[in-house]
Amino acid sequence: MIANVVSKESRLIVGLMSGTSLDGVDAAVVKVSGKGLETKAELVGFTSTPYDDKLREKLKELCSVEHSDVAKVCGMNFYIAEVFAEAALKAAKEAGLSPDDIDLISSHGQTVWHIPVADAADWSLVRSTLQIGDISVIAKRTGKPVVGDYRTADMAVGGQGAPLVPYADFILFRDEKIGRILQNIGGIGNCTAIPAGGLPEQIIAFDTGPGNMLIDQAVYTLSGGARSYDDGGQWAKEGSVDEGIVAEMMSHPYFAMLPPKTTGREVFGKAYAQLWMERMKEQGRSDADIVATFTAFTAHSIAQSYRDFVLPAAPAREVIVSGGGAHNRTLLAMLAGLLPEQTITTSDALGLSSDAKEAVAFALFANNFLFGLPNNLPSATGAPVPTVMGKLALPG
C-alpha cells in the first residue's frame, strides 16, 4: 500500500491541524509532488470543523493540572480521533473527491501538555510532549494510512518538539531577494525568519508567546460563553489599552529566554488570563479595555521578539501573517504600528489561505516521512540533528 503511494508522481494528502487555540480541526487536501526541500504543494480543498463549546471546555480541562485526570485523557484520545477522521472525510467530500482518491492522511493531533524543559524538582517530568487523537482510530475510520505524532521524534533527538511549521515555511515562502518573517497567530504565536536567499540552517524560528489564546479566553469569559473569539478585532477596537498592564505582562521571563524556545497553554492558559482579567477588573477597566489590552500584549510580544532575536541577524522586509489572528484587523493594525519598517500582510496575499497554511504543512511532513527524509528544522526546534518525524498507522 505505502509503496504504491510513494511511487506515484503526485499524492493527495489530507493534512489535519488542531492547535492550542482549541477552536477546531483544519483539514487541507493537498496535491504534493517531489520530496524534501524541492517539494511542491497545491491546495486542492480546505475545510474547518469547529469544536462546540462542550468539547472545547473538556479540552481545556485536559490542559489543566487541576482539572485533568488519566481517565479523561484516555477517553478523549479516542473521542477526538473520531472528530479528526470525520474532518478528513469532510474535506475530501467538499473538494469533490471520494475517500478512494485520497492517498494519505497526516494528523498533528491535539496538544494537551508540553514540557520543553525538564522539571528540576521532579525527576519523572522529563522533556516530553503529548498530542492526543489516536492515529489507529483515524486509519480504521477512514480506510486510509495515517501518519502522525510528529513532535515526539524531534524531542527524542534533543529538540523541543516545536515549532515544526518553519520547515514548511522555508519550502513554501523562501525568496532569493526578500527577507521574510512568517508569523503564525494561532493559540500560540510562532515566527519563522527566512533571510533573503537563506539556507535552512540560517532560519530563526521560535514561539513568540501567546497568540489568540488570551484574547479568546477573555472574550469567552467576559461574554458569558456567548462568543469564543473577537471577530475582526471589533471588541478590542472599542476599548483602550492599559499600557502599564501590557508592560507588566511583557516582564514574563519567557520573553527574555533565548531561542529556540516553545511555550503553550500550560504557561499562558486560562489561569494566566484569569489573573490579569481580575487585576484589570479591580482597577475598574471595562470588558473592551481588557480585550484591547490582551490584544496589545500579543502584538507587543511579537514585535519585541523580532527586535530582540530576529531583525539584528535576519533583516526582513515583509511580515506574512497566517492563522486565526490574520483575521483580527485590530491586532494587525497594532502590529503594523509597532513595526513601521516592515510590511504586514497575510499569506492569502501570496496565494495560500492563512487558515489552511498549518494543515498544508503537515501534509508536507507526511510526504517526507514516506520517503524516509528528515522533516524537522533543527535551527527552529533546537534539535542537534535532522530527523524523520512521524509514526504510521495502517487501515487494514
Binding residues: 19-26
Q: Cis omega (within 30 of 0) on the bond before 163?
A: yes
Annotated binding site for ATP: 19-26
Q: Is the peptide bond before 260 cis (omega within 30 degrees of 0)?
A: yes
- Encode 171-207: b = buried (16+ Cβ within 10 Å), e = exposed: bbbbeeeebbbbbbbbbbbbbbbbbeebebeebbbbb
Q: Using an 8 Å Cβ cutoff, are 381 and 116 in contact?
A: no
User: Could you tell me the CA-to-CA distances from 150 to 240, 282, 321, 366, 379 in Å, in that order?
Assistant: 41, 43, 24, 9, 17
- Report how far residue 53's alpha carbon sits from residue 71's, in angstroms, rounded to the nearest whole number: 20
Q: What's the gap between Cα 7 and its chain centre?
A: 31
Grid cell at residue 147: 501518519
Alpha carbon distance 106, 149 (integer Å): 9
Q: Please name the helix (run of DSSP H) or strand (run of DSSP E) that holds residue 296, with its range, or none.
A: helix 287-305
Distance CA 235, CA 46 (A): 28
Sheet strands (E) in 75-214: 104-115, 128-132, 146-148, 180-185, 188-194, 204-210
Contact at 8 Å (CB) between 213 and 195? no
Q: How far is CA 264 from the centre of its chain?
A: 10
The answer to whether the beta carbons of residues 167 and 376 sit under 8 Å apart is yes
- CA dihedral sign, ordered 191, 196, 197, 201: negative
CA distance 73 to 349: 39
CB 148 within 8 A of CB 390: yes
Full DSSP string of 245-260: HHHHHTTSGGGGSPSS
How far apart (Å, rounded) are the C-alpha atoms in residues 270 and 294? 13
